[in-house]
Amino acid sequence: MGDTGERAAELVERLRGEGVAGVTVAWADNNGIPRSRTVPVATLPQVAETGIGVSTVFAVFDTNDGIQYGAPGRETPSGDVRLVPDLDRLTPLAGQPGLAWAPGTQVAVDGSPWPWDQRSLLAGTVASLADRGYTALVGYEMEFAVCAATPDGSIVPAYRGPAYSPHALLEIDGFVTDVLRDAEANGLRIGQLHAEYGPGQVELSLGASDPVRAADEQLLARQTVLAAAARHGLRVSFAPLPSLALAGNGWHAHTSLWRDGRNLLAGGLDGPDDPAGAAYIAGLLRDLPALAAVTAPSIGSLARLRPGFFAGAYGFWGVENREAPLRYVAGSALLGADHANVELKVSDASANPYLALTALLTAGVAGVEEGLEPPAPHAEDPGTWTQEQRAAAGIAPLPSTAAEQEAALVGCPRLTDALGAERLGAFLAVRRADSAWAAERETEDVLAAWRWRY
């Protein structure tokens, strides 16, 4: 037994002492949907060294669990990969006391990197940034609809408002309490939780961490919330838009870029003090149409991007402007200059978080290294302007169809090169399958079919 197996054997004894019977190893597919394998706790030493067998077809699962064999290199059901748990992230689940959880990396059967794995891509991106002197912090705000469980899967909000009021949460206080307690026990740092604007909608924010951990914790947070909901007879929808009648669920990604121990985005209401911080924003803005194709890639994402809904339907940035897809969050005397970050609003649960953060960091850092300068920020909502006013300001709507998103992504070599041919091919194959399926149905029917998928 190697060092990894010996460490896993020590973990087995600890897990058994805590009553854990199995370990669930999870990953995210190209639709943002968590997939997993669960193994008996006794097998963890072997699994840690040689992984769990997983079919290669998961790389081309679409949102409806259809398998798309048209992606280059994934034309048949033949082949196997190994899913290896990250022992550093292994977490006994407070809300599922017989199970522990760990994120997994998929490797080829000989242990070499598998070019369709997304988690290793983000890890490699972070390592490349470190070699160039950069580190990044990422924190997610996660919105979701809490609903009563119904036989037909319809939407029945679990509380009646008012929005942002503590009165709203009285109706689900047991669920909220369990989410907070379980999150702390699971090692998740929740900044805050509140009743959101939409019916039955809740938002929680996760503390900022390194990008790979942030993506892992986004998946763990879902498991934590779903387990708490199940105990209380509730259902939770993380879908970008559960119904046309409801508010959309954004999973806003807050990022900051650091060099030599300094936050390049540090600044106040005038924006970043360092030109490099402004260049980071400029890089994100330049590639925003292509970036959104990765960070908000589903039919539900496109339905959510409506002007006036704080979703970021137009391509611009603003300082503390909640209609901006790129919102600069300023530092202050109270919070400190290093509190500053950029919030990407065009981000949701249908994105693979590892692909999404790879694309985001690639776009932003390219702006820094090219010394880009952003246009002036806007404090208003361009959705209230005339088309002529937007054109004069150089503001265009973000892609509003799957075809427009694909064209934007394919036309951006920075992001396609960052994703790699294999991952890009699989990603596009499932996007096209989803689009073709949705084209034959009403939008509300598509949203209903995917309401509980994420």
Q: Are 144 and 112 in the same domain? A: no
Q: Are 166 and 291 in the same domain? A: yes
Q: Does 292 fall in a domain?
A: yes
SS (H, E, C) 163-211: CCCHHHHHHHHHHHHHHHHHHHHCCCCEEEEEECCCCCEEEEEECCECH
Closest by CA to 240, choosing from 356, 330, 411, is 356
Q: Decide if 63 contacts 434 (C-beta within 8 A).
A: yes
Q: Does 442 fall in a domain?
A: no
Q: Residue 329: give the domain boundaries.
A: 131-378
Based on the structure, what is the number of domains in the chain? Answer: 2
Query: pLDDT digit string (tens) for 355-394?
Result: 999 999 999 999 999 999 999 999 999 989 999 999 999 9
Q: Are 16 and 102 in the same domain? A: yes
Domain boundary among 72, 94, 117: 117
Q: Does 156 fall in a domain?
A: yes
Determine the Cα angle at 191 with ends 188 and 196, to 5°.
Answer: 110
Domain boundary among 87, 117, 147: 117
Q: Does 217 fall in a domain?
A: yes
Q: Are 290 and 343 in the same domain? A: yes
CATH number at residue 10: 3.10.20.70
Quote the CA–CA distance of 454 and 437 in Å, as a whole number: 18
Q: Decide if 427 contacts 30 (C-beta within 8 A).
A: yes
Q: Are 211 and 339 in the same domain? A: yes
Q: What is the helix (H) or strand (E) element at residue 161, kind and residue range?
A: none
Quote the CA–CA distance of 129 and 109 in Å, as a whole number: 28
Q: Are 275 and 373 in the same domain? A: yes
Q: Does 408 fall in a domain?
A: no
Mapping DSSP to helix (H, G, I), strand (E, B) and coil, where does residue 146 land?
strand
Q: Are 113 and 137 in the same domain? A: no
Q: Are 54 and 113 in the same domain? A: yes
Whether this model's pTM surpasses 0.95:
yes
CATH number at residue 208: 3.30.590.10
Q: Does 438 fall in a domain?
A: no
Query: pLDDT digit string (tens) for 115-151?
Result: 999 999 999 999 999 999 999 999 999 999 999 999 9
Query: pLDDT digit string (tens) for 284-336?
Result: 999 999 999 999 999 999 999 877 677 778 999 999 999 999 999 999 989 88
Q: Decide if 11 contacts 42 (C-beta within 8 A).
A: no
Q: Does 406 fall in a domain?
A: no
The DSSP symbol for 260 reads T
Domain boundary among 60, 92, 117: 117
Q: Are 72 and 175 in the same domain? A: no
Closest by CA to 346, choosing from 269, 249, 426, 435, is 249
Instruction: Specify the pLDDT at position 307.
Output: 74
Q: Does 248 fall in a domain?
A: yes
Each residue's pLDDT expressed in tens, for the chain with a length of 454 residues: 678 989 999 999 999 999 999 999 999 999 999 999 999 999 999 999 999 999 999 999 999 999 999 899 999 999 999 999 999 999 999 999 999 999 999 999 999 999 999 999 999 999 999 999 999 999 999 999 999 999 988 899 999 889 999 999 999 999 999 999 999 999 999 999 999 999 999 999 999 999 999 999 999 999 999 999 999 999 999 999 999 988 899 999 999 999 999 999 999 999 999 999 999 999 999 999 999 999 999 999 999 987 767 777 899 999 999 999 999 999 998 988 889 999 999 999 999 999 999 999 999 999 999 999 999 999 999 989 999 999 999 999 999 999 999 999 999 999 999 999 999 999 999 999 999 999 999 999 999 999 999 9
Q: Are 158 and 112 in the same domain? A: no
